[in-house]
Amino acid sequence: MKRPLLGLLLLLLLALPVRAQDAFTGALPGLAGGFADIATAVERLGAAGDPRALPVLRALQEGRLQKAGDGRILLPEGAGLVDAATGQPAEAAGAGAEAVRLNNRVRQALRGALGRLQILSPDPAERQAAAEAVFRSRSAENVPVLRQALARETVPRIRTQLELALAASQLVGTDEAGKRDAVARLGSAGTVEARALLLEARGGNPDLVTAIDVSIATIERTLSLRRAAETLFQGLSLGSVLLLAALGLAITFGVMGVINMAHGEFVMLGAYATFLVQEFCRGIPWLAPWSLALSVPAAFLVTAAAGALLERGLIRHLYGRPLETLLMTFGVGMILQQAVRLAFGAQNREVLSPAWMQGTLLLPGGISVTQNRLWIIVFGLAVLLLVFAAIRLTRFGLEMRAVVQNRRIAATMGIRTGRVDAMTFAFGSGLAGLAGVALSQIDNVSPNLGTGYIIDSFMVVVFGGVGSLAGTLVGAMTLGIVNKMLEPWAGAVLAKVFVLIAIMLFIQRRPKGLFALKGRAAES
């Protein structure tokens, strides 16, 4: 009893691969026939799902596949040819061999077949490309293989593409339930491609029109939400850049009342410090990945030193004369800019982003964000926290606040006010250097890097309220977001103009900014 059953099982086990082989070897001779035969054979090869079909179809697509006089199909391998059915070298192909030719129908069949075969490939990039190819080829025959691929696919991006391809294939088929299902799934996919697909299917399926319209409306909603989220992100990212540039000003201008028109040039110096650190690290392999991290303290120190020098050497003599300080620091900015232009040349210098900052990140909901901009937001907020901590928690911060509140009494308490002035100014200038590190990642490092940001940064400080970190944060983020919101319908330049006008009108109502200082300190 047992033996025949076992034999049957064995037979079945053997039969499975044999049948698959049969489909492959059975389809091959068709390639030696006319164009119609070739197209049919290609489709059969694609449906069989045999890995050996892939090189054959590729060779066919590239025009390298040969047919021998006896109908055998020959595949070029290295210098010679092999029999595609057996895999044996076919040295005796002889003079009868000629290339299998293609026409448009065959090419179309090839694209679909190759896509179906590659969709199961172990290489994710190949699967992605295949999913796109299948999406374009659009045939009801793809449905089973797509389902099979979806069942084992784990990469989210490829899954999305596969689902789109599946829906596209279902929509051209005859299965009504499948079509309905596809329309619903496309609606929840919420992409521009899905919308295009639905609009295309709308004409050909009169009984599905209502379902399609519902799905399209869903997609429109998703898309506008996504656009809003992306605008918000871009606004936050621009806001963080402004925040970084304005934080230093909030210290030097807001706290000390010194208007430093060379602040933009300090930002530029920070960016060049980043460039120099990168060039230095390039020669030392184990140091190279850390160059950006190293430039943070380097840029801070360089610009802080420049700031201390400027304060002790020049600005100190002009305290109480803000207009003269403005003119003088503008001159210093000019000299710095020209010095850097002579030293490094007027052309842009390239600062590379480390690998972990490159590329885009796809958030849930299909929102795409660029990594470096994301990191700038993180960096901006981190610097803000550090500044807050430095002012509130350190001895230096305490002395700084004391000198701002009442210079004379601070001096009588034994605080060396001159030293605190220098350190405060150095601190604010160092923050400009940090802004330079961030800007080197998203903008061209050139001698006039700072000029593009300085006016906006002053606007942030004026808008947010002088001498208030919260005001600087809110001001920077508001300006960033409003700028990016206006951009789509007004263009970048007019958006800037509108923002400037809005600030002019805003300070009509609140001349001291959003977060005004109250009490005696507010009266200058």
Partner 1 sequence: MSATIATPAPGTTGRLTIRLVLIGAILVLAVLPVLNQLPAESTLHVSDFIVSITGKWITYAVLALAIDLAWGYAGILSLGHGAFFALGGYAMGMHLMRLIGPRGVYGHPTLPDFMVFLGYQELPWYWLGFEHFPYAVLMAMAVPGVLAAILGFLAFRSRITGVYLSIITQAMTYALMLAFFRNDMGFGGNNGFTDFKELLGMPLNTDNARAVLFYASLALLVVAFLACTRITQSKLGRVLVAIRDAESRVRFLGYDVTRHKLFVFVLSAALAGLAGALYVPQVGIINPGEFSPGNSIEAVIWVAVGGRGTLVGAVLGAFSVNALKTWLTTVAPDLWLFALGGLFVAVTLFLPRGLIGLFAKAPK
Query: For binding to partner 1 (CB under 8 A), which residues are involved?
Result: 259, 314, 317-318, 321-328, 330-335, 337-339, 342, 455, 458-459, 462, 491, 493-494, 496-497, 500-501, 503-505, 507-508, 511, 524
Tabulate helix, strand, coil % of the chain (nearest 5). Answer: 75, 5, 20
Q: How far is the CB of 507 from partner 1 (least distance, A)?
A: 6
Judged by beta carbon, residue 257 or residue 297, the one nearer partner 1 is 257
Question: Residue 333 or 471: which CB sits closer to partner 1?
Answer: 333
- Which class for 320: exposed (0-12), middle (13-18), buried (19 or more C-beta within 10 A)? exposed
CA angle 79, 82, 86 (to 5 degrees): 160
Indicate the residue among 23 and 326 with the shorter CB distance to partner 1: 326
The distance of closest approach from Cβ of residue 516 to partner 1 in the complex, given in angstroms and rounded to an integer, is 12
If the CB atoms of residues 107 and 321 are measured against partner 1, the closer one turns out to be 321
Alpha helices in 90-208 (DSSP H): 104-118, 124-137, 142-152, 156-171, 176-189, 192-204
Q: How far is the CB of 344 from partner 1 (least distance, A)?
A: 14
Q: Residue 259: phi, psi to the nearest 5? A: -90, 115
The nearer residue to partner 1, 249 or 439, going by C-beta atoms, is 249
CB nearer partner 1, residue 209 or residue 497:
497
Considering the complex, what minimum distance in angstroms separates the CB of residue 157 from partner 1? 39
For the chain, give the longest Cα–Cα distance: 111
Q: Which is nearer to partner 1, 140 or 318 (CB)?
A: 318
H/E stretch holding 56 reads: helix 53-61
Tokens 């600005």 belong to 315
Residue 116 or 496: the one with the smaller Cβ distance to partner 1 is: 496
Q: Least distance in Å: CB of 330 to partner 1? A: 6
Dist. CA 134–CA 47, nearest whole Å: 13
Q: Which of 239, 234, 231 is closest to 384 using CA atoms?
A: 239
**Three-class secondary structure of residue 269 per DSSP:** helix
C-beta separation of 113 from 43 below 8 A:
yes
Q: Which two tokens stand for residue 519?
A: 């009490």
Nearer to partner 1, 227 or 510 (CB): 510
In angstroms, give the least distance from the CB of 415 to partner 1.
Answer: 26
Helix extents (H) in 394-416: 395-405, 407-412
What SS3 class is residue 205? coil
Q: How far is the CB of 262 from partner 1 (least distance, A)?
A: 10
Say if CB 386 and CB 248 are below 8 A apart. Answer: no
Closest distance between partner 1 and the C-beta of residue 524, in Å?
8
Please state the closest distance from residue 470 (CB atom) to partner 1, in A.
Answer: 20
